[in-house]
Structure 1
């Protein structure tokens, strides 16, 4: 029987076989995506059983999404999981003067957690809801440690696993840890300060967390080790991380080749770039997922390609800071696997695909080396390949039913051409109509299962304002908020108000 999509129960997995159809379906055949006009997708118990035309079997329901694209859900391997503080640095520079790193005075007075455990749990739930609103079905969370006492905690990640399970989001996670941090000794002068034992303890906690949490919530929860940054990780910590990832059968993510401060620090500590250093220590492999590669040398990229390292491309946050991956098409030609990440607010994967397309063409200085479909592949197949999951990132029989439905009727995108090109060049996450994760309805008509995002928006703003109020404590010279974050234009208030 045919039903209207509004009859789907938010937060529930429909019983029996469900057939969904739309004007376009992104199917998968012979290793690549295929476009199916008026195609059909049938799934049951979280698994896709058919993708094509004219399903011959019985179904419990048939739902037509009309002029829409039924797509594999996006895979975000650097997914924002807090209230984004990088946006504070968009127009406020230099970062060292704006609370982006710890001044010595703050370190000496004793860093502390600037959020309560309840606030840490809330912000992850809110961030996960934002991911679902943007068609993201699998996420590897990332958050800032600048406002933390040191690393992330097991308690907040226990809450994060429950949030993902209750909202219906597939996640790869464990608490981030580090063996050092950058400290501002004087204006413009940053130095690394290490506490290796603290890093080891963080790794041990993360390993125990993965062993305990993996497979929970119907296998929506799996582990990924997350040493925070290469410049503040000691060799011993990374060696133990790689060994643990191998033993656990999981991946580990390490930010490197992403900024001048990191490059300079690693050269000072190890005499070369991070990828060259790690390659010499036998630590580059297919287990490693490495955002962002915007400062990678040609030698670095050659090493990534030869060792099977995945790059996570986050074009919005990189471009906003004045850097780009040089270039997406060149990395693909080298044979480097590229996945996508959002890494900032808004967690809009479609917007990231557009910025990635534009920045690649600017770097290439020609328009014909990259296509919209190449970026779309990175956000689906590239992410699945990085995770070692042939059952994600595609719509084909036997794959998990992780599905996003994008509206093609949006007047801003009219007139439409090819549906992928239309979405990448004119879409945004706001055209996401529905999201299924493991066959469960996790988002429908801008509503997230089990969580009122509109009410949470007010709470998130209040929590964020409370964090900003603490920035003078961790900014050089302790200036007032008005000097740290100046307004775009002078503010005139009502003198009689």
Structure 2
């Protein structure tokens, strides 16, 4: 079947890069784009005039939240607040449990995947908190998630997260990692089993990857085993690392080397590696504040950095700097990592954070962030057929409405949209030529029911922090309101 979209603005691909096409048309047949230009003269089966919209390549989110929002309660700190977000040693030793049932976790996943689709994301690699599980992500949960992803129609790079240790709060207010190595080995075995499961499904929209957790929660043995598995199976690896000074301190204390050195020593640089955040390297102001070779190490490794500007900003961090990483030759792609999964807001935050970090207005032009959200993500995945609108590419597209008076006047459509807009303006999307978002709705998905159930599950999740808290505080003490409640004195 041949489909045509017509729109006021199209972010087409030409001469190796994106190009703005006014009053353009995109035509695809089955799952492949066959035409991008001003006028298509051939016959079509479905013809849609989207009017005052911006049609872009589908957004690629490689650290995509597939959980219920927790940043809303943990992105601020007060005395002792941080310790309440980690497991206590007693909880680790004697009381750890799954906060949600398998059925509830399936609902959480559906809610989160619906959010991705509603925000114009077409390709994702999931991230979820393991704090609320008895250990990490079980095989059966990812099998169910894969089916939900297929039903909604997104392009997913999936695997169960695994770890051999978990962050715990210490009595002195610090952090350490408590280990159960046998659980790490079992987790990797589940991940390999899931690779086999997706291979049997043979669905072009689902690709198996290895998703070990944070580097400080992985033993040297598990890191090396991950690298060996990735090489033998030729699969991508994503490892959260270089996130903060606590991670660096724990890694140096336990292994006698920095996180970057540990990645290299484990053999992971010999894989197709993606590293979310990658903020704390020698350029970071809390370390040396200058380049002492870490950027060159990243470039030589060929690893991609998944930059999550909105989440970094909310936790008081920034990349030092987007411009420096890009000019050094690091492949930068983007992730949301938290709620809302809004890469438009994320790109806007990144552009302005970069100005502050580098002290110059041209530190990270808008177009470079758009490239990271499309072409950079495609490079990280090894997919030259994603992240671009040109003949031969996969028909992964998203349309954003630019006709609302609240968006203000229009100059350059991309720059104006990123400055004044939000991904909630997504109206249509297709993945591999199949409709996913249709007139701001997800066909077959009960959004109202998901919203109601997600609130109930969030309340359950919030209450469970009290079980894990080192000091035994209740949730309202851990997470007090912004203002005291009103008291009726009548």
Q: TM-score range by the shorter chain?
A: over 0.9
For 1:113, the equivalent position in structure 2 comes to 98
User: Do the aligned residues in 1 keep the contact of 2:65 with 2:336 (CA within 8 Å)?
Assistant: yes
TM-score, with length taken from structure 2: 0.95
> What residue in structure 1 maps to residue 378 of structure 2?
384
Whether contact under 8 Å (1:276, 1:300) holds in the other structure is no
Contact 1:410 1:431 in 2 (8 A): no
**Any conservation in 1 of the 2:28–2:433 contact (CA below 8 Å)?**
yes
Alignment match, 1:487: 481
Matched residue, 1:6 = none
Q: 1:93 and 1:378 mapped to 2: Cα distance?
A: 35
Q: Which residue of 1 aligns with 2:461?
A: 467
Q: Indicate whether 1:404 and 2:389 are aligned.
A: no
User: What SS does the corresponding residue of 1:389 show, helix, strand or coil?
Assistant: coil
**More deviation in 300-309 or 398-407?**
300-309
Task: State the 1:368 CA deviation.
Answer: 1.5
What's the CA shift string for 1:41-74, capped at 9, x where partnerless? 1112111111112223221132110011111010
Q: CA deviation at 1:90?
A: 2.2
Q: Does the C-alpha gap of structure 1 residues 359 and 119 become closer, same or farther in structure 2, counting only changes over 3 Å? A: same
Q: Secondary structure at the match of 2:485?
A: coil
Does residue 276 (structure 1) correspond to residue 261 (structure 2)? The answer is: yes
- Distance verdict in 2 for CA 1:210–1:148, change over 3 Å: same
CA distance in 1, matches of 2:360, 2:200: 46
In 2, the alpha carbon distance for the partners of 1:181 and 1:49 equals 49
Matches of 1:211 and 1:178, distance apart in 2: 20
Offset of 1:150 from its aligned partner? 0.6
Find the counterpart in structure 1 of residue 237 from structure 2.
252
2:429 is aligned with 1:435: yes
Distance 1:115 1:234, change over 3 A: same
SS of the counterpart of 1:284? helix
Among residues 158, 162, 165, which one is paired with 2:147 in the alignment? 162
Change (3 A) 1:260 1:462: same
Gaps of 5+ in 1: 1-15
1:137 is aligned to 2:131: no
CA deviations 1:407-448 (Å, max 9, x no partner) are 111222220111110121111011111111111111122211
CA shift, 1:222, in A, is 0.7
C-alpha distance in structure 1 between counterparts of 2:453 and 2:425, whole Å: 25
Describe the SS at the equivalent of 2:161.
Answer: coil
TM-score (norm 1): 0.94
Q: Which residue, out of 238, 241, 246, partners 1:261?
A: 246
Alpha-carbon shift at residue 473 of structure 1 (Å): 0.8
CA distance in 2 between partners of 1:455 and 1:170 (Å)? 24
**Which stretch of the first structure deviates more once superposed, 19-28 or 74-83?**
19-28
Alpha-carbon contact 2:227-2:271 (below 8 Å) kept: no
1:479 Cα deviation (Å)? Answer: 1.1
Residue 358 of structure 1 corresponds to: 352
Q: Is 1:237 the counterpart of 2:214 in the alignment?
A: no
Q: Is the 8 A contact 1:96 1:476 kept in 2?
A: no
Structure 2 residue runs without a partner (length 5+)? 283-290
Partner of 2:314: 320
Task: Please give the secondary structure, in 1, of the residue aligned with 2:130.
Answer: coil
Please tell me whether the aligned partners of residues 68 and 406 of structure 1 are also in contact (alpha carbons under 8 angstroms). yes
Preserved contact between residue 165 and residue 179 of structure 2 (Cα < 8 Å): yes
SS of corresponding position for 2:338: coil
For residue 471 of structure 1, report the CA deviation from its aligned partner: 1.5
Aligned to 1:209: 194
Given that 1:404 and 1:432 are in contact with CA atoms closer than 8 Å, whether structure 2 keeps it comes out as yes
Q: Which of these residues, 397, 410, 418, is aligned with residue 416 of structure 1?
A: 410
Inter-CA distance 218–282: structure 2 relative to 1 (3 Å threshold): closer
Q: Which residue of 2 aligns with 1:346?
A: 340
Would you say the 8 A contact 1:288–1:310 is kept in 2?
A: yes
Q: Distance in 2 between matches of 1:368 and 1:479?
A: 47
Residue 338 of structure 1: CA displacement? Answer: 0.4
CA contact (8 A) 2:263 2:269 kept: yes
Residue 179 (1) aligns with residue 173 (2): no
Tell me the alpha carbon deviations over residues 153-184 of structure 1, each in whole angstroms, 9 at most, x when there is no partner: 11111111011000111100111000111222
Q: Distance in 2 between matches of 1:187 and 1:310?
A: 37
Q: Give CA deviations for 1:231-288 in whole Å, capped at 9, x if unaligned.
A: 1111221111112122222211001111121011111112232112222443224611
Q: In structure 1, the residue corresponding to 2:43 is in which secondary structure?
A: coil
Instruction: Please report how far the alpha carbon of residue 87 of structure 1 lies from its aligned counterpart in structure 2 after TM superposition.
Output: 2.3
Would you say the 8 A contact 1:286–1:310 is kept in 2?
no
Q: CA deviation at 1:495?
A: 6.5
2:26 and 2:35 in contact (8 A); partners too: yes
Work out the CA distance in 1 between the residues paired with 2:112 and 2:419: 25
| Aligned with 1:305 (options 276, 299, 302) | 299
Q: Is the 8 A contact 1:257 1:292 kept in 2?
A: yes
